[in-house]
Amino acid sequence: MELLIICNACKTASARRVTAILPNFPYARQDKKDKSRAPITAKLMANMLQTAGCNHVITMDLHASQIQGFFNVPVDNLYAEPNSVKWVRENLMHATENHAEINGAKEDCVIVSPDAGGAKRATSIADKLDLPFALIHKERSRPNEVSRMTLVGTVQGKVAILVDDMADTCGTLAKAADTLIKHGAKDVVALVTHGILSGRAVEILKGSSLSRLVITNTVPVPEEKIEALKVEEGQKGCRLEFIDIAPVLAEAIRRTHNGESVSYLFSHPVS
């Protein structure tokens, strides 16, 4: 609501252009009517922003790209992928001339999508890192609860890197990690754009098979949750790490203000 008020205040004060920066677009998962009488809240958010006077939106890793079509104003959907790929290279990949070694050998790692919907995102990262890809098919009994998971692909003896756009209650990530360990993965790392960490997320993560949850700072994480997920050297547990995407948004703002193209940011990391 505060964003809408500020947009409207700027518009009524004769601002030439009002750009809204939403690193994590609210209600992005409510982008379609998946059951009777369900609201399409993402469309409502688009309508309210435009009515308030917003005439340009910059966001990151929309849950569904078609949300851009809800707007009648320009929408720049930035990607965390370039910075995520850079993080994997710097933290999981040994510095070799051709980046052929990951934890000793390239074959030791595999990119995994925890659901079919995220396959495109995961395969894109796998292609850029020249790594194999695996997929987990999940069946939900109700929202935020997964009943069964089936692995498609091979993770035996590999470090599995789970790639997703959102970590909410973290039930999907935890069950996916357990599934990967059962199928022989020697370690599981989760690479996620939006770390919402709602409800029992911290408790679920601490009891999961994940060794690391790597998120961007699109969503503020309360200090107590950060403290709860601290793991001392040599101890087992899920350690929380961050990828800073503030430079990406700053560069997008600079380019927009100067009338430059932002397409460079879709494929190049900014730090």
The CATH number of the domain holding residue 147 is: 3.40.50.2020
Residues 234, 101 share a domain: yes
Res 142: pLDDT: 66
What is this structure's pTM?
A: 0.89
Residues 194, 74 share a domain: no
Residues 238, 201 share a domain: yes
Residues 70, 179 share a domain: no
Mean pLDDT over 226-250 rounds to 91
Concatenating the DSSP letter of every residue in 222-252 gives PHHHHHHT---TT--S-EEEEE--HHHHHHH
Task: Mark which of 78, 100, 124 sits at the end of a domain.
Answer: 78
Q: Is 71 a member of any domain?
A: yes
Residues 218, 140 share a domain: yes
Task: Mark which of 53, 78, 103 sits at the end of a domain.
Answer: 78
Q: In total, how many domains does the chain have? A: 2
Length of the chain: 271
Res 143: pLDDT: 64
Mean pLDDT over 126-155 rounds to 82
Q: 10 Å Cβ neighbour count for 110?
A: 22
Residues with Cβ within 8 Å of 162's Cβ and at least 6 positions away in sequence, in order, are 112, 113, 114, 173, 176, 177, 180, 188, 189, 190, 191, 192, 210
Q: Which helix (H) or strand (E) holds 189?
A: strand 187-195
* Burial of 64: CB neighbours in 10 Å, binned 0-12, 13-18, 19+: middle
Q: What's the rounded Cα separation, in Å, for the pair 230 and 98?
A: 33
Residues 199, 233 share a domain: yes
Residues 153, 59 share a domain: no
Q: State the pLDDT confidence band at 226, using cuts at 50, 70 and 90.
A: very high
**Residue 111 bridge partners (DSSP):** 133, 161
Q: From 184, 235, 175, select the one nearest 210 (Cα to Cα).
A: 175
Q: 10 Å Cβ neighbour count for 99?
A: 14
Alpha helix (H) residue ranges in 29-154 = 41-52, 81-91, 119-129
Res 83: pLDDT: 97
Res 95: pLDDT: 39
Structural domain of residue 39, as residue ranges?
Answer: 1-78
Residues 206, 116 share a domain: yes
Q: Is 147 a member of any domain?
A: yes
Res 102: pLDDT: 42
Is the pLDDT score of 111 beyond 90?
A: yes
Residues with Cβ within 8 Å of 59's Cβ and at least 6 positions away in sequence, in order, are 21, 22, 23, 24, 25, 75, 76, 77, 78
Q: Is 250 a member of any domain?
A: no
Residues 205, 177 share a domain: yes
Q: Is 133 a member of any domain?
A: yes
Q: Is 269 a member of any domain?
A: no
Q: Is 249 a member of any domain?
A: no
Residues 86, 18 share a domain: no
Q: Which helix (H) or strand (E) holds 3?
A: helix 2-12
Task: Mark which of 78, 100, 115 sits at the end of a domain.
Answer: 78
Mean pLDDT over 159-177 rounds to 94
Residues 146, 37 share a domain: no
The gap from C-alpha 271 to its chain's centroid, in whole angstroms, comes to 18
Q: Is 87 a member of any domain?
A: yes
Res 100: pLDDT: 43
